[in-house]
Amino acid sequence: MLTKLPDVMLEPMVRAALLEDLGRAGDITTSAIVPAGLRATMVLAARKPGTVAGLDLARLAFRLIDPAAVLEIHRPDGTSVAAGEAIATVHGAAAGLLTAERVALNYLCHLSGIATATAAVVAALDGLPTQVVCTRKTIPGLRAVQKYAVRAGGGANHRFGLDDAVLIKDNHIALAGGVAPAVERARASVGHLVKIELEVDTLDQLDEALRLGVDAVLLDNMSVDTLRRAVALVGGRAVTEASGGITRASARAIAETGVDMMSLGWLTHSSTALDIGLDSTG
C-alpha cells in the first residue's frame, strides 16, 4: 500500500511554490484577461506513457488558489497511464485554474517522471526479489515528495537523512583510522533501533564488515561477478545493497546476483519529467 503524506506536510511546500510564481503582482495575464465569474473544466492528460505521482500536490495548488476547485482523479498515484490518457479532471474558476496550472504541473510532471523511471527499473527486475531504492541525492527541499514518488513507482526508500540510519563511508573509515573503530564507535553511539550499514569496495573489506556484525553492506561499484561472490560471502548475515552507476539496462544482471537491493541516485537527481498538460474541455 502506498504510504500517502498528509496535507499538513505538503501544503507549506505548495504555498511556497505558488508564492514563488505569483511574485509581487500576481498573475497579471489571467487577471487582466479572464472574466472573474467564468467557470471551467480542464483535464490533466499525459502526453507520454508513465506512472503517476503528485496528485495531492496538484490538488493543493488548485485549492489554494480556488478553495472551491475540485480534482476528480481517474488514474491515482502509483498507477500507469497511457499517452493521451486523462489522469484527472479539475473543475473550478477558469482564472484560478490558469493561475495554479504551472505549479500543479511542475510538481506532477517532476514526480511522475521519478515514478516512471522507478517503475521502468522495477519492471526490468520482474520476478526477482531485489528492491529498487533511492538515495539522499535529491533536489533540496523535495526529499519527502521525491522519495514518495519512488514508492509510487514501486521502489523503496533508503535513508531519509543523516539521522535515521548509520551509513559509514570511505571518508569516515579513513578519518576513524580503520573499519573496526568506525563500526565500534557507531554502535556505542546509537540506539538499538538504528541500523548500521557499511560501504565496502572489496571482498576483503566485506569479510571484515561481516565479522564486525553490521546490519547492511553497501557494495560500491562492484562488477556483476564480484557482486555474486559478495552475496555468497554474506550468506544472509546482512542486507546487501549494490550501488554505483546502475542503469535501467544493467539492473537485471545486477539483481540476478542476488543482492537484496540496488540504490540509484539518478532516480531523484536526473529523471526526465513526464510530459503532462492541462487541456481545456469542449
- Least Å distance, CB 225 to a second copy, is 24
Task: Please provide the DSSP assignment of the chain as one string.
Answer: ---PPPHHHHHHHHHHHHHHHHTTT--HHHHHHS-TT-EEEEEEEESS-EE---HHHHHHHHHHH-TT-EEEESS-TTSEE-TT-EEEEEEEEHHHHHHHHHHHHHHHHHHHHHHHHHHHHHHHTTT--PEEE--S---TT-HHHHHHHHHHTT-B---SSTTSSEEE-HHHHHHHTSHHHHHHHHHHHS-TTS-EEEEESSHHHHHHHHHHT-SEEEEET--HHHHHHHHHHHTTSSEEEEESS--HHHHHHHHTTT-SEEE-THHHHSPPPP-EEEEE--
Judged by beta carbon, residue 7 or residue 256, the one nearer a second copy is: 7
Does residue number 212 form part of the binding site for a second copy (CB under 8 A)?
no
Does residue number 235 form part of the binding site for a second copy (CB under 8 A)?
no
Judged by beta carbon, residue 98 or residue 251, the one nearer a second copy is: 98
Among 46, 55, 65, 122, binds a second copy (CB under 8 A): 65
Say which of 39, 102, 229, 252 is annotated catalytic: 102
Does residue number 223 form part of the binding site for a second copy (CB under 8 A)?
no
Q: Is 27 a catalytic residue?
A: no
Per-residue x/- track, 97-126, a second copy (CB under 8 A): -xx--xx-xxx-xx--x-------------
Per-residue x/- track, 21-60, a second copy (CB under 8 A): xxxxxxxxxxxxxxx--x-x--------------------
Q: Is 72 a catalytic residue?
A: no
Say which of 77, 199, 241, 260 is annotated catalytic: 199
Among 53, 94, 230, 262, binds a second copy (CB under 8 A): 94
135 phi and psi angles, rounded to 5 deg: -125, -165
- Least Å distance, CB 135 to a second copy, is 9
Strand pairing partners for 159? Answer: none
Check: CB of residue 108 under 8 Å from CB of residue 54. yes
Say which of 20, 72, 164, 169 is annotated catalytic: 169
Q: Count interface residues toward a second copy (CB under 8 A).
A: 102
Per-residue x/- track, 186-205, a second copy (CB under 8 A): x-xxxxxxxx-x--------
- Least Å distance, CB 224 to a second copy, is 21
What number of CA atoms fall less than 13 Å from residue 43's CA on the CB side?
A: 13
Q: Is 199 a catalytic residue?
A: yes
Judged by beta carbon, residue 175 or residue 225, the one nearer a second copy is: 175
Does residue number 15 form part of the binding site for a second copy (CB under 8 A)?
yes
Q: Is 103 exposed, middle or buried (0-12, 13-18, 19+ CB in 10 A)?
A: buried
- 241-260: contacts with a second copy (CB under 8 A): 260
Judged by beta carbon, residue 34 or residue 225, the one nearer a second copy is: 34
Say which of 47, 48, 137, 187 is annotated catalytic: 137
Residues designated catalytic: 102, 137, 169, 199, 220
